[in-house]
């Protein structure tokens, strides 16, 4: 599908959902889709909406389901279905704590003994992969005094759902019904890689997880929506998931581009072009930062980048951001490197407009569905003040824009160039046939042919520069 979607928070870009609709209908009308990050109640919880108290309700401070349907009337809306967890302040969890086995939600929440009914050893417990330091359990006490260890993969306030229990599945079905009624066209399964806990494994993207992905995908497709899966993992996991769903993320692209721009070599990126899934949402940056683990090795599986090359990508980011990226990035338990860079993509590129546009050009020329993050589109730099205020590393890349800041950004070359690239991606040539070649270890040539047209992107990484031609004529991005 031609076109580019915008990934954004309604409040941090436009104040609320009606404001976002106005921006998308005017200054940002070039975007053909919008992934609106969690707008549920509350949108500003412990994890900026990814810890919903009520996943079926639009936070009234942002608007209503009518506003979501209004945005969807002119473009495809993507929304999150947070399959792994819910807030500890949700009515369901509070009722379970109050009533225990008498609660209709008994079984919805994953407890220690549900996974380990016959006890667990130290090796069993420490085998689990968690994207945070520490262990994935939090003690809670019921109203009758019963003490329970509840699974909390991400934060103590984010209670894991037992997706293998009828009560957990009924909850997810209720959410899918709500999203479909709200005009959502694509559902992103958030944090699905952690949803199934299987003793004896690290419980991340196991065969049991893939079975659940297929089950969840069927549930969503039955309601007329597409399925996008979000997983940060070894690239082979994206290859395994791609046939099961409509869309996966190409999270390997950003670190491979940073490696190419840092070393002047295109060979690592070229190796990925030959094997990447075509049904991918392509990104440079997201609300979660810049993934790096996706291109690296995992256990005995080699990566597209080696561990040393991953470390070099982090070092370049550290130098370009004056150390901010290292301060904001978290190293998960049992690992030696962060799994993502917490910084804006523009900051990691040293605020170099040409390099930013080069990276975007590669992104829009690859098969799939390009998605631009609002901070990246506006040439945002690290919001170190917000990070200092909240202590949340990812907030360096989650700036809250004022109308004046947006107006100034729209006049910059870096934003004008990205919007021009988004406009170019709507050309019918991108519905045609794609081909690519690597003339040497420092360059790439990407080509589309279709509808009687030809679009070509020529890129050099050793002295970073690029050229786009459409039907033989050079395409200007800044005027």
DSSP 44-61: TSTTTTSS-SEEEEE-TT
3-state secondary structure 437-456: ECCCCCEEEEEEEECCEEEE
- Give the other-Cβ count within 10 Å of 464's Cβ: 17
Whose tokens are 């549930």? That residue is 219
Residue 323: both structure tokens together: 């150390």
Whose tokens are 């949402």? That residue is 281
Whole-number Å distance between alpha carbons of 467 and 449? 17
Whole-number Å distance between alpha carbons of 226 and 162? 23
Q: Please indicate whether residue 44 is annotated as part of the active site.
A: no
Whole-number Å distance between alpha carbons of 112 and 431? 49
Q: Count how many Cα atoms sit within 13 Å of the Cα of residue 467 in the half-sphere of its side chain.
A: 8
Whole-number Å distance between alpha carbons of 426 and 402? 29
N- to C-terminal Cα separation, the chain = 27
Catalytic residue among 230, 250, 288, 383: 230
Question: 29 Cβ partners below 8 Å, 6+ apart?
Answer: none
Catalytic residue among 21, 80, 162, 190: 190
Inter-residue contact 401 to 13 (CB < 8 Å): yes
Whole-number Å distance between alpha carbons of 174 and 249? 25
Look at residues 222, 224, 229 and name the one whose alpha carbon lies nearest to residue 246: 229
Query: Kind and range of the H or E element at 388?
Result: helix 384-390
Inter-residue contact 401 to 346 (CB < 8 Å): no
- Give the other-Cβ count within 10 Å of 435's Cβ: 10
Q: Please indicate whether residue 190 is annotated as part of the active site.
A: yes
- Write out the catalytic residue numbers: 190, 230
């Amino acid at each position: 599908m031609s076109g580019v979607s915008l990934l954004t928070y309604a409040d941090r870009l436009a104040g609320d959902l009606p404001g976002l609709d106005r921006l998308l209908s005017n200054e940002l009308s070039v975007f053909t889709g919008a992934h609106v990050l969690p707008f549920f109640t509350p949108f500003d919880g412990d994890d900026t909406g990814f810890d919903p108290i009520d996943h079926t309700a639009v936070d009234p401070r942002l608007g209503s389901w009518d506003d979501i349907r209004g945005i969807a009337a002119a473009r495809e809306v993507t929304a999150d279905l947070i399959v792994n967890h819910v807030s500890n302040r949700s009515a369901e969890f509070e009722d379970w704590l109050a009533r225990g086995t008498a609660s209709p939600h008994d079984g919805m929440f994953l407890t220690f003994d549900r996974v380990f009914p016959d006890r667990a050893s130290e090796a069993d417990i420490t085998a689990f992969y968690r994207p945070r330091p520490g262990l994935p359990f939090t003690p809670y006490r019921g109203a009758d005094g019963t003490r329970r260890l509840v699974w909390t993969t991400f934060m103590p306030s984010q209670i894991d759902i037992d997706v293998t229990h009828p009560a957990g599945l009924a909850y997810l079905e209720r959410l899918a019904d709500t999203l479909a009624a709200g005009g959502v066209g694509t559902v992103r399964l958030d944090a699905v890689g952690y949803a199934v806990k299987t003793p004896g494994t690290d419980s991340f993207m196991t065969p049991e997880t893939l079975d659940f992905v297929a089950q969840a995908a069927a549930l969503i497709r039955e309601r007329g929506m597409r399925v996008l899966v979000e997983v940060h993992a070894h690239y082979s996991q994206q290859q395994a998931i791609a046939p099961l769903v409509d869309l996966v993320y190409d999270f390997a692209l950003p670190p491979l581009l940073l490696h190419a721009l840092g070393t002047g070599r295109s060979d690592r990126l070229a190796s990925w072009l030959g094997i990447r899934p075509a049904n991918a949402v392509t990104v440079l940056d997201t609300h979660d930062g810049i993934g790096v683990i996706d291109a690296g090795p995992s256990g005995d599986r080699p990566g597209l980048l080696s561990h040393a090359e991953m470390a070099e990508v982090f070092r370049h980011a550290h130098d370009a951001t004056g150390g901010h990226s290292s301060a904001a990035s978290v190293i998960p338990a049992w690992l030696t490197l962060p799994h993502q860079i917490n910084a804006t993509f523009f900051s990691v590129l040293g605020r170099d407009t040409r390099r930013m546009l080069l990276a975007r050009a590669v992104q829009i020329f690859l098969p799939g569905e390009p998605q631009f993050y609002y901070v990246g589109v506006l040439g945002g730099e690290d919001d170190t003040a917000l990070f200092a205020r909240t202590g949340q590393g990812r907030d360096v890349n989650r700036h809250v824009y004022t109308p004046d800041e947006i107006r100034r950004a729209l006049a910059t070359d870096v934003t004008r160039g990205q919007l021009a690239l988004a406009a170019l991606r709507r050309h019918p040539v991108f519905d045609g046939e794609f081909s690519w070649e690597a003339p040497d270890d420092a360059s790439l040539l990407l080509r589309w042919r279709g509808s009687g047209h030809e679009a070509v992107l020529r890129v050099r990484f050793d002295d970073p520069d690029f050229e786009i031609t459409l039907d033989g004529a050079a395409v200007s991005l800044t005027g």
